[in-house]
A and B are shown apart, each in its own frame.
Chain A
């Protein structure tokens, strides 16, 4: 297991490179980005080596604990910094490093005009390192380190162009909402320590079934809360849309492929805990279902290409959460969908970035149209991603999503029907809005000013992006096409994950599988067709129409921000203002009042001291007489 012991290098390499880039400063501007790419690629290679090694082993000893050092040896609580190398974490490591490397390469070109490109790559490497810590950690404490680390990286990258105040605010919003989720994580860990006296996976999972359901439910719910924060699930989803303020490669890597899926990872990893608490599982499933629809609806109304993709990310992660909430039968598929989604969504984001690159950073799809003529590669690759996400066989999205829908129908009582239906409808809507995006961007009539037509807006000269950008897109597109099918052959992926997710024999859905599959495809085609009729065949108005109530609501993200502001922000601001006033006026005022009061009394008493010896003598005499009187009176 020698290379497994080198797993720490996975983290160390990008971390060191990031540190170097940050510390050397301007000195490394010239070659900094290449160092970043190199570091990411190196850990990608290492990850693949480890994968190969694991594949070479029997299914049962595919789990390795690599103990590094004692991190927090605090008497009762001892947390060791150790890596857990098993199929699940390695899968993630591959996804992170591989997609990450592609996006690094893409970014080299995409950010070439930015003076701070070096800093950008430093942050990207930092993110890779943190994300790897997250997935490789062998204890919740260490996982939390990565968890917050990716939060930090996302904060830095969303606010990368923080000279624009809105971007800075968006970054802060993302971090703070994540923190709300992290509170859940912390409470979960507190409960774990109170229950098991430890927070490392082995101990916790080992003792999980022995512990009472109450504690388990608390832990489970708190973990779900954490997952919501990180994966932008309802009700903590508000930040993801604003997070699109970051450069597109960031959106692709962090807010589509990897970081936002950490929540799903957390729940799957914590499977043994959720086993003990159906309540938490159900909550997770419901959250997933709600977010699934939520994202889909929002996606239908947005005109900003990146926001649509963000919404779809939300919705797709909703699928994964739903699957993860279904328990062991869903775990594998959740991860499966996560992987495929990582590929095709990243591809589409890069495509969007390439479109923006060609269209002068325009993001409004109503200003696009008929771009397929100008940027062929982008068009093709994007099409691959599109077909994948809407689930057209044999594209990878079909395999993963279909499995989730099937397993959503598994079970008894009301749940399979509700979840299944939601999943189905979601699939339909997804098809609609993704097709809308695709057609509005690449088909229909051109709605931008090419200098000849008399359309408003600055003149655009759409062009294909350089190879550095297109190559990663192509690679990801291939993944989007083939990966799903490849991993489905003989359930290879599911069996591969079994050491972690546990083996589950096949359950029968409440509906026969063919029926589900056909319904799905029909719905998808319906949605796509609808989109085609509306956005490709007929002209798209450049100015957004008023639209129905639902549309307007969806454009406003179903008023989630309004709710947040009304419920948390405004009262919070009032509270702080009041407290600040109270602190100075009341708490401090009392003290100062005491002081000035004393001064006043001093002033008054001072008058008695007129400095005339005779009056002092007089006072003395009176005092003596008084004293004598008292003494004698007491004698009487």
Chain B
């Protein structure tokens, strides 16, 4: 077994996350998809870090985590306020972009 497996795993997780973003209408679920994608990316970073034997990968992953946390906070807050005003957490209901 080699480190490639980790990469394959992260690829699979990433794909699943992205598809979730595409297919789920519930904002919260879609958002979780995003999180999954981020983590998949982290996994890749860490794996390569180990592959190349330096810690930068981990550091970057760390920063990703921090940023992700911030992003989650904001994102969820947005979802909540949308839910408050529109009474629904469905993405498709918020299609103000159209006209």
Contacts and interface: CB of A to CB of B under 8 A. Distances in A.
Q: Do chains A and B touch in the complex (CB under 8 A)?
A: yes
Interface of A: 609-614, 616-618, 621
Interface in B1-19: 18
A610 B95 contact: yes
Interface in B72-99: 91-92, 94-99
Contact of A611 (B22, B25, B95): B95
A48 to B, nearest CB: 89
B21 interface: yes
A621 B18 contact: yes
B20 to A, nearest CB: 11
A614 B18 CA distance: 11
A613 B22 contact: no
Nearest to A615: B22
A558 to B, nearest CB: 75
A609 B94 CA distance: 14
B91 A611 contact: no
A610 B18 CA distance: 20
A621 B91 CA distance: 17
Nearest to B22: A618
Contact of B91 (A609, A610, A613, A618): A613
Nearest to A611: B98
B64 to A, nearest CB: 18
Contacts of A612: 91-92, 95, 98
Contacts of B23: 614
A617 B24 CA distance: 12
Contacts of A611: 95-99
Nearest to A613: B91
Nearest to B99: A611
B22 A621 contact: yes
Given A611-B95, A611-B96, A621-B18, 16 more contacts: A609-B97, A610-B98, A611-B97, A611-B98, A611-B99, A612-B92, A613-B94, A613-B97, A614-B21, A614-B22, A614-B25, A614-B30, A614-B92, A616-B97, A617-B21, A618-B22
From DSSP, what is the main secondary structure of chain A's interface residues? helix
Nearest to B94: A613
Contacts of B92: 612, 614
Contact of A614 (B91, B96, B98): B91
B98 A609 contact: yes
A201 B51 CA distance: 104
A617 B18 CA distance: 9
A609 B91 CA distance: 15
Contacts of B94: 613
Contacts of B96: 611
Contacts of B22: 614, 617-618, 621
Residue among A609, A612, A616 facing the most chain B CB atoms (10 A cut-off): A612
A616 B21 CA distance: 11
15 contacts: A609-B98, A610-B95, A610-B98, A611-B97, A611-B98, A612-B92, A612-B95, A613-B94, A613-B95, A613-B97, A614-B21, A614-B22, A614-B23, A614-B25, A614-B92
Contacts of A613: 91, 94-95, 97
Contacts of A621: 18, 22
A392 B23 CA distance: 118
B19 to A, nearest CB: 9
Contacts of B30: 614
Nearest to B97: A611
A218 B30 CA distance: 90
Interface in B34-84: none
Contacts of B91: 612-614
A616 B91 CA distance: 12
A452 to B, nearest CB: 94
A171 B60 CA distance: 95
A617 B22 CA distance: 7
A621 B34 CA distance: 13
B16 to A, nearest CB: 13
A614 B23 CA distance: 7
A579 B44 CA distance: 73
A612 B93 CA distance: 8
A158 B94 CA distance: 79
Contacts of B95: 610-613
A545 to B, nearest CB: 86
B99 to A, nearest CB: 7
Nearest to B19: A621
A559 to B, nearest CB: 71
Contacts of B98: 609-612
Contacts of A614: 21-23, 25, 30, 91-92
A612 B22 CA distance: 11
A125 to B, nearest CB: 73
Nearest to A621: B18
A612 B91 CA distance: 8
B34 to A, nearest CB: 10
B78 to A, nearest CB: 12
A523 B98 CA distance: 101
Q: Which of A613, A616, A618 has the largest count of B CB atoms less than 10 A from its CB?
A: A613
A621 B95 CA distance: 19
A611 B97 CA distance: 5
Nearest to B21: A617
A625 to B, nearest CB: 10
A617 B33 CA distance: 13
Nearest first, the 7 A-B pairs at minimum CB distance are A611-B98, A611-B95, A611-B97, A618-B22, A613-B91, A612-B95, A612-B92
B62 to A, nearest CB: 25
Contacts of B99: 611
Contacts of B97: 609, 611, 613, 616
A612 B99 CA distance: 11
A116 to B, nearest CB: 67
Contacts of A617: 21-22
Contacts of B18: 621
A614 to B, nearest CB: 6
A614 B97 CA distance: 12
A237 B94 CA distance: 84
A314 B21 CA distance: 98
Nearest to A606: B99
Contacts of A610: 95, 98
A613 B99 CA distance: 13
Contacts of A618: 22
A471 B71 CA distance: 113
B91 to A, nearest CB: 5
Contacts of A609: 97-98
B2 to A, nearest CB: 21
